[in-house]
Amino acid sequence: MTEPFTIAIDGPAAAGKGTISRAIAAHFDMAHLDTGLLYRAVGARMLLGEDAATAARTLVASDLDNDSLRTQAVAQAASQVAVIADVRAALLDFQRAFARRAGGAVLDGRDIGTVICPQAEVKLFVTASAEVRAKRRFDELVQRGQPADLDAVTADVKARDARDMDRAEAPLKPADDAVLIDTSNQTIDEAVASAIEVVTAKKG
């Protein structure tokens, strides 16, 4: 396939959208962009004292290749910079150009189907209960050897949901024509299979 074909996947933290996105990209041989990493990279530079908007405008690919972007502190910073209109504007063109590349692209984030790529050929909204997502994030932190408290992680997930859903600029919500995939009671294989079925049907 050489024509652009955009798959937009949105959803809250730890719902499984990243895993599903990577699996779909591999299955259909498409490029993949975790747009959350863009905001994490900006957040990481902000934690080092840099102005967030300046960081967004000068972001380079190597900024995304950093293990520190997966820490809880950077995740919180990412959620904070994501509400800044100048940051979102600086990253908009990059994401849209990536989405329309030849051969197709899968983008996951929080406003792909609603703001970044409203004309995407496929839109998915991947979600799960806050408690399930908090347990996943807790297990992930423990596996990485990072200190974690389940109650604190749960509170953080709920606070991040509130920030993402209530922000004035590009709030987290399903696009009107998005297909909902709730992974609360699904294995990752089941969720991936559901997503692939939707994309296959859309591709005709």
Binding residues for ATP: 11-19
Report whether 108 contacts 17 (CB < 8 A). Answer: yes
Binding positions: 11-19
Work out the end-to-end distance of the chain between its first and last CA atoms, rounded to an integer number of angstroms. Answer: 13
Number of helices and strands in the chain (H, E): 8, 5
Which amino acid, 35?
T
The separation between CA 146 and the C-alpha centre of its own chain, rounded to angstroms, equals 22
Helix (H, G, I), strand (E, B) or coil at 71: coil
Question: What does the DSSP 8-state code read for residue 48?
Answer: T
Phi first, then psi: give them for residue 178, nearest 5 degrees: -80, 145
